[in-house]
Amino acid sequence: MKPKITYIADLDQDIDDFLAILYLIKYDVLEFVVCDPWPITDEGKARLEKIAHMSIHCFNKIQLGTRIVFCGGALTSVAKFIENGNTLDALVMNGGFVGSNYIPQMEQLPKFYGKELIRTYNFNLDIDSTKAVLSASKDKIDEIILVGKHLCHNEKNTIKDLWSSKFFEELQKEYKFDSGKRLHDVLACHEGLSLLNIIPDKSYCEYDYLHPINVDDKWGSIRGTYNKENVSIFRECTVAVRWL
């Protein structure tokens, strides 16, 4: 039997989280959706209704007994979950950044040339919770897998390349999203399913064990806990570093 996954989503934002949910449903691995925040826009409410019609229960917090969380939004719910004495086998997240201190220039996106630190949307939604989660010991969260901005923003991460398939072609026709849209959360979901051996499909990314760092609300990654002026207070994570 496949492990079941809880997905944390912000359904009021663009369609990325919703597409990731449909991707997990495709593989029959989605158990619950946690909405953070609860939808208030017409689009968010419509997406919530569609999810409910697919017999997926939606909550405002992580349910007891949850073992695997995929996160497309803020880490508020995860921080509260582990603070209340609960544990997770794995957290998979679209978030973080691996910069020029690690990635050779030829592999960097032009928009990130020479940058070691940048703001990242999901980590900055609730910085205190992000710091609490990234500091959690392995007995709280056994594995943390991060797929960051340096990969998610690549044109490769669109239906014109990685996601060129009948499944996404039909979703594009139904939901009218641009063919150049970066599918950030879909990529993170695929990578999590692959690395956790939930599906047989191969990973699209190469990984390394790196520590996130935070300086003035900007994020980066280093090998080890110390690198020149940057000292990481955060745990080692499994971090996507480049395309395979």
Examine the pLDDT at 232 and tell me if it is beyond 80.
Answer: no
Question: Which pLDDT does position 230 carry in this prediction?
Answer: 62
Name the CATH code of domain 5-243 (choices 3.30.1690, 3.90.245, 3.30.70, 1.10.3470). Answer: 3.90.245
Report d(CA 150, CA 99) in Å as an integer. 7
Global confidence as pTM: 0.96
Alpha carbon distance 78, 70 (integer Å): 10
Residue 229 confidence (pLDDT) above 70:
no
Please list, in sequence order, all residues whose beta carbon lies within 8 angstroms of the beta carbon of residue 190, skipping any fewer than 6 positions away. Answer: 23, 201, 203, 204
Q: Given a cut of 70, is residue 157 above it in pLDDT?
A: yes
Give the domain ranges of the chain: 5-243
pLDDT digits (tens, 9 = 90+) for 132-155: 999 999 999 999 999 999 999 999
The span from the CA of 48 to the CA of 147, in Å, is 25
User: Which residue bears the tokens 């020029």?
Assistant: 100
State pLDDT tens for residues 104-135.
999 999 999 999 999 999 999 999 999 999 99
Question: What six digits make up the tokens of 78?
Answer: 């995860």
- C-alpha span between 17 and 8 (Å, rounded): 9
Assess whether the previous peptide bond of 110 is cis (omega < 30° from 0).
no
What are the backbone dihedrals phi and psi of residue 167, each rounded to the nearest 5 degrees, phi first?
Answer: -55, -50
Query: DSSP letters along 35-104, please?
Result: ESSPP-SHHHHHHHHHHHHTT-EEESSPPTT--EEEESS-SHHHHHHHHTT--EEEEEEE-----TTTS-
Spatial CA neighbour of 148 closest among 75, 90, 219, 196: 219
Average pLDDT over residues 165-183: 97
Confidence of residue 78 (pLDDT cuts 50, 70, 90): very high
State the average pLDDT for the chain. Answer: 95
Please give the structure tokens belonging to residue 114. 């020479």
Res. 226 pLDDT band, cuts 50 70 90: low
Contact present, 122 and 74 (Cβ < 8 Å)? yes
What is the reported pLDDT for 195?
A: 98
- Count CA atoms within 13 Å of residue 114 on its CB side: 0
Q: Are 79 and 133 in contact (CB under 8 A)?
A: yes
Q: Which two tokens stand for residue 4?
A: 């079941």
